[in-house]
């Protein structure tokens, strides 16, 4: 097992007064300054507020006060999660210099627990990408080999957590943006059920797909963070909040008799090393007493175009707000207000964002709406029903997270369709609003991590985390740490 920090270990050190929160925070800040040049995980570091929080935690410990589970734990947030008074850019030129005047609900919850925010982390511009390379700050690097990408879009969080320069982080997942970089960086990423975590303060990409979730080094950490941030929020009209018992309390339950489903469409077409690792994990589950069930999900072949049509349609509307008037970048030279808005947007958005806005506008425009948007919306219903049916045959679906391991920097394929194909295993979950957790399940011949995802029925986070925890306990070597960062 690696000696990297996790929430439980750090919490025990603090409670046992083996290290003060200020010392711990300082060591993380020092390590960020040392490693971030290579990893490019952080785009903003917040040492002053981090140390101020750390000192408050130390005072509570000195006064003998009770600490909440996440109190004093150094962490990070993806740069699309609003933080009052701290610049939040979505790694886009159009939002450089934007300082939110309110906190996202998830940060509000964690701040009240004295979470130590080390800084904001890198991402694909507006979360649109699979390699983190569409970021206006350049891409985050993979801590297992910095010649490879960290993945995307939450690449900065994954690079920071996988590189042990944050104990955990929060990312967002619209089509795989938590699970894919977690898989590439050999760590755990949980995309909760749509509505389980408030989206208030998350800068929108595609509102019916977006969901905030934790990226951690262990399954138990993912459960602890998820339990903390899953709260009903009246400021998000799609919020449902907690459903059932806390997921951290059932991790150790036996999975004997659990039905784990494998759909052949998920396995076909992925690279051999990925397929072997995932099928190897199914053998582990069998040895733990689970029953493996095979079935077909032919409708999966439509999920990728359905996702791109609907997500881009929503994005084209959501990103209409960037006009240079109220916040962010504004063009220097223009004739009138219309010219100003067009110049601001043309100069402020990167190529991939423009491409998705154009695609979204195209599929919503008169003459194409029925053939694309309406048809895709209709198929979304078909895919939802297919998964409902699948969950009558099994309790959890096991699938690869990504068809391949992390690609090399700059190789994130110039062909847009080829790039979109890397999301093929992750998008169905977002289409259906289901929860899924990506966990490491081995390394390829080049030492790059391979990830698998466990997909659950609506609000079945406890079930998938239980299955993931049992795998982690059985195969701890799959969770081997990178050489970067703090070791405790």
Partner 1 sequence: MVTREEILKIATLSKLFVSEDELTKLTSDMEQVIAFADTINSAEDSTTEFDNINNLSNVLREDEIVPSIDRDKILCNARDTDDGHFLVKKRA
- Catalytic pick from 11, 35, 153, 230? 153
Q: Are 279 and 243 in contact, with CB atoms under 8 Å apart?
A: no
Cis bond upstream, residue 183 (ω within 30): no
- Catalytic pick from 35, 135, 159, 177? 177
Residue 177 a catalytic site member: yes
Q: Locate tokens 């509505």: which residue?
A: 195
- Catalytic pick from 20, 44, 60, 78? 78
Nearer to partner 1, 457 or 481 (CB): 457
Neighbours of 357 (CB within 10 A): 22
Q: Locate tokens 């002053």: which residue?
A: 48
Residue 179 Cβ vs partner 1, minimum distance, rounded to whole Å: 18
Nearer to partner 1, 238 or 253 (CB): 238
Nearer to partner 1, 295 or 327 (CB): 327
Q: Are 417 and 347 in contact, with CB atoms under 8 Å apart?
A: no
Neighbours of 483 (CB within 10 A): 10
Residue 424 phi, psi (nearest 5) = -60, -35
Q: Specify the DSSP element, H or E, that contains 121.
A: strand 116-121
Nearer to partner 1, 193 or 482 (CB): 193
Residue 153 a catalytic site member: yes
Residue 435 Cβ vs partner 1, minimum distance, rounded to whole Å: 11
Binding site for partner 1 (CB under 8 A): 97-99, 101-102, 193-195, 208, 234, 237-238, 240, 299, 301-302, 304-306, 308-309, 316, 320, 323-328, 330, 334-338, 340-343, 345-346, 349, 354-355, 357-359, 361-363, 365, 371-372, 375-382, 384-385, 415-417, 420, 432-433, 458
143 vs 401: CA distance, rounded Å: 19
Nearer to partner 1, 234 or 272 (CB): 234
Residue 397 Cβ vs partner 1, minimum distance, rounded to whole Å: 17
Residue 192 Cβ vs partner 1, minimum distance, rounded to whole Å: 11
CA triplet 2, 448, 223: central angle to 5 degrees?
A: 50
Q: Are 285 and 467 in contact, with CB atoms under 8 Å apart?
A: yes
Residue 82 a catalytic site member: no
Q: Specify the DSSP element, H or E, that contains 442.
A: strand 436-443
Residue 415 Cβ vs partner 1, minimum distance, rounded to whole Å: 7
β-pair type (449-456, 396-400): antiparallel
Distances (CA, A) of 14 to 21, 95, 218, 245: 6, 37, 19, 27
Q: Which of 214, 54, 69, 47 is nearest to 118 (CA)?
A: 47
Residue 371 Cβ vs partner 1, minimum distance, rounded to whole Å: 7
Nearer to partner 1, 97 or 410 (CB): 97
Structure tokens at 10: 């750090």
Show which residues are catalytic: 78, 153, 177
């Amino acid at each position: 097992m690696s000696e990297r920090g996790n929430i439980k270990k750090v919490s025990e050190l603090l409670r046992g007064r083996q290290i003060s929160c200020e010392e711990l925070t300082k060591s993380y800040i020092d390590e960020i300054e040392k490693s971030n040049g290579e990893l490019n995980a952080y785009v903003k570091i917040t040492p002053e507020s981090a140390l101020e929080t750390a000192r408050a935690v130390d005072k509570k410990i000195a006064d003998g006060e009770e600490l909440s589970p996440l109190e004093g734990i150094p962490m990070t947030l993806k740069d699309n999660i609003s933080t009052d008074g701290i610049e939040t850019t979505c790694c886009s030129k159009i939002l450089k210099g934007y300082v939110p005047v309110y906190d996202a609900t998830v940060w509000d919850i964690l701040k009240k627990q004295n979470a130590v925010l080390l800084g904001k982390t890198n991402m694909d511009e507006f979360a649109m990408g699979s390699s983190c390379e569409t970021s206006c700050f350049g891409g985050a690097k993979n801590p297992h080999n910095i010649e490879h990408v960290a993945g995307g879009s939450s690449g900065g969080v994954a690079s920071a957590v996988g590189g042990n320069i944050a104990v955990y982080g929060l990312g967002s997942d619209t089509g795989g943006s938590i699970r894919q970089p977690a898989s590439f960086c050999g760590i755990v990423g949980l995309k909760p059920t749509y509505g389980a975590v408030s989206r208030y303060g998350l800068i929108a990409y595609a509102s019916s797909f977006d969901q905030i979730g934790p990226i951690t080094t262990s399954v138990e950490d993912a459960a602890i963070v998820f339990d903390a941030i899953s709260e009903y929020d009246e400021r998000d009209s799609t919020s449902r909040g907690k459903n059932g018992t806390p997921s951290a309390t059932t991790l150790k339950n036996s999975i004997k008799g659990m039905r784990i489903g494998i759909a052949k469409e998920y396995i076909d077409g992925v690279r051999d090393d990925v397929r072997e690792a995932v099928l190897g994990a199914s053998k582990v589950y069998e040895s733990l007493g689970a029953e493996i069930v095979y079935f077909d999900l032919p409708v999966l072949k439509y999920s990728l175009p359905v996702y791109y049509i609907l997500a881009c349609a929503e994005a084209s509307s959501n990103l209409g707000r960037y006009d240079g008037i109220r916040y962010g970048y504004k063009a220097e030279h223009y004739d009138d207000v219309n010219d100003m808005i067009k110049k601001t947007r043309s100069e402020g958005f990167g190529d991939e964002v423009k491409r998705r806005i154009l695609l979204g506008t195209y599929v919503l425009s008169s003459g194409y709406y029925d053939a694309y948007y309406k048809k895709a919306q209709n198929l979304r219903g078909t895919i939802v029903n297919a998964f409902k049916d699948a969950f009558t045959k099994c309790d959890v679906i096991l699938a690869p997270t990504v068809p391949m391991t992390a690609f090399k920097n700059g190789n994130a394929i110039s062909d847009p369709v080829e790039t979109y194909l890397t999301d093929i295993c992750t998008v169905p979950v977002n289409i259906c609003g289901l929860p899924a957790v990506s966990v490491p399940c081995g390394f390829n011949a080049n030492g790059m991590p391979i990830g698998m995802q466990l997909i659950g029925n609506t609000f079945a986070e406890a079930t998938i985390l239980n299955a993931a925890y049992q795998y982690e306990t059985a195969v701890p070597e799959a969770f081997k740490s990178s050489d970067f960062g703090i070791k405790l």
